[in-house]
Structure 1
Amino acid sequence: MEGKKKRILRAFRAAFPYTIPIFAGFWFVGLTYGIYMNVSGFSFWYPMIMSLTIFAGSIEFVVVNMLLGAFNPLQALVMTLMINARHLFYGISMLDKYRNTGWKKGFLIFGMCDESFTINYTAKIPEDVDEGWFMFFVTLLNYLYWFSGATLGGIFGSLLKFNTEGLDFVMTAMFVVIFMEQWLKEKNHVSSLLGLGLSLLCLLAFGAENFMIPAMLAIISVLTLLRKPIEKESEEVCQ
């Protein structure tokens, strides 16, 4: 039993430093999300429960507008699938890593976000550290960072007395930052330009209220059809 405790503690000590940068980002965005929920008319229970059960930052911001709008479960389902479709590919990539993790596998699947996937997939885990426990603590810590940030934002949002006009722009800003980061990493910008172009066409065709789902479907369809040419061109650029 003592040996098991030491193994678990060693895995925690190895995992924690990897999550420190995530803590700063998750707390800032989580606090903003909690405050945004509060100024939108929801008590702190909403961001607390949603961050605890959904644990998907981008869709949680989108859910605010869904809750304020007309009841449309089909739109909510399609929107969630479109925004989080990348997790399908994350899951396929982690099949081997999660294979022998026992009871921890369920939580690892539930708690896999962009940041946890990146760390667990790329981290060079020391040989004396249990890989399953390492991935568990990375996932757990990131989960707790987001949950605590969103909850505190919801609690303190009702106590803060300042002009919160424009706070809902945080989601737009977040997606812009993600897009710019991806743009800087790309050697070939064909995919990004296609995404922008198709989104603009859908905006003109369907209007600001209804363009999101058609745009996502169009982007997925076109990129799937052009996957091989884009990959080939990207390889030529890298060479």
Structure 2
Amino acid sequence: MNDSKKSLQINPLRISNHMNNNKNQIWMAFRSAFPYTAPIFAGFVFLGIAYGIFMNSLGFNAIYPILMSLFIFAGSMEFVAVNFLLVAFNPINALFLTLMVNARHLFYGISMLDKYRGIGMKKFYMIYGLCDESFSINSTVNIPRNVDKGWFMFFVTLLNHSYWVIGSAIGGIFGSLVKFNTEGLDFVMTALFVVIFIEQWMKEKKHLSALVGVGLSAVCLIIFGGNNFIIPAMLTILGMLTVLRKHLEKTEVDTI
């Protein structure tokens, strides 16, 4: 009887300690993830502002870019989707155009299956919020051993998503007050990808996977042209990296 009373007194302490440990893990994961998303912040907020201003210039209230950024979160597809709001609704056309613009996410998702295994319910939001930048970070970063992998990748996704929503909200709210030519602002994302690629190149000692990606992309660009090379390039890169997977994993272990 005394033992049972003692256990009842200890259990709340254990629960409290467990909760505190979870909070510390979450906070540590947030602090570890934020620096990796800082370069994304500048690009997403700047381009999001341009997107909000663009929608405002077409007569849409600020709530439109905010909700579209929150629920669609597809970058370039959101710019394209504006045209669907201005013409008669054609769901089939919208479906196929969305597949064409964002087909690369199919390959992102396949390659992240192992990364997302065993992280619980968080993976459903991370699947929804997967974008180019989150994929670039979560697929290549070396997460510190004392940081929870699931929470780290969750916060990378959440932070990048929030940057885009914040930028769109600012542009949508203040768009009527600012008038300027937004032509060429989409190059911000291209520059951001270049920076991410250079950082990964400098961090890695072996560059085989990067060279495979660049080389096959160049070949597909020559064969299929600038408007049609993305999907063939993704397929060939996926196939080649699958063939070279064991060699790449062995090389990664040898360089540690």
Matched, 1:95 2:124: no
Per-residue deviation, 1:38: 0.4
Aligned partner of 2:70 among 46, 52, 58: 52
The equivalent position to 2:182 in structure 1, one of 143, 156, 167, is: 167
Distance in 1 of aligned mates of 2:114 and 2:193: 30
Q: Residues 43 and 52 from structure 1, CA distance in 2 versus in 1: closer, same or farther, beyond 3 angstroms? A: same
Give how far 1:42 is off: 0.7
1:4 and 1:180 map into 2 onto residues whose CA distance is: 36
Deviation at 1:169, TM superposition (A): 5.5
Q: Could you state the TM-score of these two structures normalised by the residue count of structure 1?
A: 0.76
> 2:207 maps to what in 1?
none
2:228 counterpart of 1:186: no
How far is the alpha carbon of 1:195 from its aligned partner?
3.8
2:97 pairs with 1:79:
yes
Identity of aligned residues (%): 55
2:175 paired with 1:157 = yes
User: Can you give the 5+ residue segments of structure 1 that lack an aligned partner in the other structure?
Assistant: 200-215
Tell me if the contact between 2:44 and 2:164 (Cα under 8 Å) persists in the aligned partners.
yes
Q: Give the AA of the match of 1:152.
A: I
The TM-score with structure 2 as length reference comes to 0.71
Q: Equivalent residue for 1:25?
A: 43
Which one of 116, 124, 144 corresponds to residue 126 of structure 1?
144
SS in 1 for 2:59: coil
Query: In the alignment, does 2:60 pair up with 1:42?
Result: yes
Point out the structure with max Rg over C-alpha: 2
Shift of 1:170: 4.0
1:133-152 maps to which residues of 2 (within 5 A)?
Answer: 133-152=151-170
Distance 2:192 2:73 in 1: 18
TM-superposed CA distance for 1:96, in Å, is 1.2
Is residue 129–residue 158 contact of structure 2 (8 Å, CA) maintained in 1? yes
Q: How many matched pairs?
A: 206
Most deviating of 187-196 and 69-78:
187-196
Distance 2:222 2:59 in 1: 37
- Is the alpha carbon distance of 1:177 and 1:17 closer, same or farther for their aligned partners in structure 2, counting shifts above 3 Å? closer
> RMSD in angstroms over aligned alpha carbons?
3.0
Paired with 1:12 and 1:176, the residues of 2 have a C-alpha distance of 26
